Structure 1
Amino acid sequence: MANTSADYLPPGAPVFDAVFREKLQALLVWRRDVRRFRPDPLPDGLLERLLNVACLAPSVGLSEPWRFVTVCNARRRAAVRRNFERCNAEALAAEPGERAARYARLKLAGLDEAPCHVAVFADRTTSKGHGLGRRTMPEMIEYSTVMAVYTLWLAARAEGVGLGWVSILDPQEIAATLEVPESWTFIGYLCLGYPREEDSVPALERAGWEERSTPAVCRLER
């Protein structure tokens, strides 16, 4: 009988069987960038638990450079909303013709509806990891932080929580609004809450903005 992957696992290691892999595939398919949220608050402790899961993400040199800032203050949230409105208006003005009309129909933020707001930053000044793996590629700090965001995204979806990543913002203004250290780099502003609707097709594809490509592997041989 041929060996299976489980035959090579050390004692006590979990076995991820075909049923698990199928569910993982479904999780990846149904992970969506959510823009419309129900007003229901998340249960006490859920956001903190999700952020703890996000911190299991891989990071260069085990530097763990992600910095999550929960934004609960109404004044700060209003400032973020104004930031988005200005940047969104500029983005709309830059779109040509019919593209501008399509852009105007898109709902690009859940800032008004989402009960939880989390700003994510990367800290290049962290001494954790002792610089391993980033001497020639310091941007690995930002890449590691993005990995944490994606880990959070999947963990949230597994709990039935939607996540929307707002990127139409002025990073320097966000940093000033939230009064974070100058050394931190803004990565994204996340809205979390229970989604009003669920779909396996990206919203931008449903809106006719763009189509998802057929999965392909690029192979270059020399």
Structure 2
Amino acid sequence: MSGPAPASPFSEDEKQAVYRAIHTRRDVRSNFLPDPIADDVLRRLLLAAHHAPSVGFMQPWNFIVIRSPAVKIQIKAAFQRANDEAAQMFPERQRKLYSALKLEGITETPINLCITCDRQRGGPVVLGRTQNMDMDLYSTVCAVQNLWLAARAEGIGVGWVSIFHDDDLRRILNLPDQVTPVAYLCLGHVDKLWSQPELQAKGWRSRLPLDDLVFADGWGQTPDTCPAET
């Protein structure tokens, strides 16, 4: 069936399941279990990512599934080099806490996944990308979020590792020039998740109040009312 279908709301249970996945999703760096991820589960996660919205329906993503211990060791070394540099960028009062944070599970998880953006996908002119050339990158990030929420529903922990030099990922994963690495993810079963974001729990930063972030009809214009958080 190719035409429009009824757009009825979800049942109350279905809605609560969606919101639960959103509110309990975590960036996981530890507490991974050694259990392998079944192929059918991985397929469902990738299919969820592949159903993300994309501007002009360009679908610019690719998924590099990494199971090789040798590749993971190279990735871990690239992370460590970049992380040592990053620690020196923070003020001294933050540096000790930063160094104590566990920021990756590269060699502890059965699957690493690099989600990339092919910046030539769809050709030189893509519907919806005619003025903003970064819409392909934004579309790929939507694929990351789809996969993350699906993983939460499956009991799979996901950790996004962003502390790399781009050239290192390109070299290790043999990426073509037109392909940009968007997200490097560590995937594994977990039996525990933080009740709040780990960086908040460990004192790095707190969630900003929603009311401070909502404007009306233009930047800085406070709305008369903002829906209360529940």
TM above 0.5: yes
Q: Is the 8 A contact 2:137 2:182 kept in 1?
A: yes
User: 1:81 is paired with a residue of what secondary structure?
Assistant: helix
User: 2:112 is paired with a residue of what secondary structure?
Assistant: strand
Deviation at 1:215, TM superposition (A): 1.8
Deviation at 1:134, TM superposition (A): 0.7
Q: Is the 8 A contact 2:25 2:149 kept in 1?
A: yes
Select 1:133's aligned residue among 128, 132, 136.
128
**TM-score, L = length of structure 2:** 0.87
Q: Is the 8 A contact 2:62 2:116 kept in 1?
A: yes
User: 2:199 is paired with a residue of what secondary structure?
Assistant: helix
Deviation at 1:17, TM superposition (A): 2.3
Tell me how large the CA RMSD over aligned residues is: 1.8
Equivalence for 1:30: 24
Distance 1:129 1:183, change over 3 A: closer
Q: Is the 8 A contact 2:73 2:107 kept in 1?
A: no
For the residues of structure 2 that align with 1:11 and 1:51, how far apart are their CA atoms? 25
For the residues of structure 1 that align with 2:114 and 2:80, how far apart are their CA atoms? 17
Deviation at 1:130, TM superposition (A): 5.3
How many residues are paired up?
213
Equivalence for 1:166: 161
For the residues of structure 1 that align with 2:172 and 2:37, how far apart are their CA atoms? 25
User: What's the CA shift string for 1:140-197, capped at 9, x where partnerless?
Assistant: 0000000000000000100111100000011121011111211101111000011252
For the residues of structure 1 that align with 2:151 and 2:7, how far apart are their CA atoms? 25
For the residues of structure 1 that align with 2:6 and 2:56, how far apart are their CA atoms? 26
**TM-score, L = length of structure 1:** 0.90
Equivalence for 2:173: 178
Percent identity reads 38
Equivalence for 2:105: 110
Distance 1:157 1:167, change over 3 A: same
Aligned letter for 1:24?
Answer: V
Which runs of 5 or more structure 2 residues have no equivalent in the other structure?
222-230
- 1:218 to 2:212 alignment: no
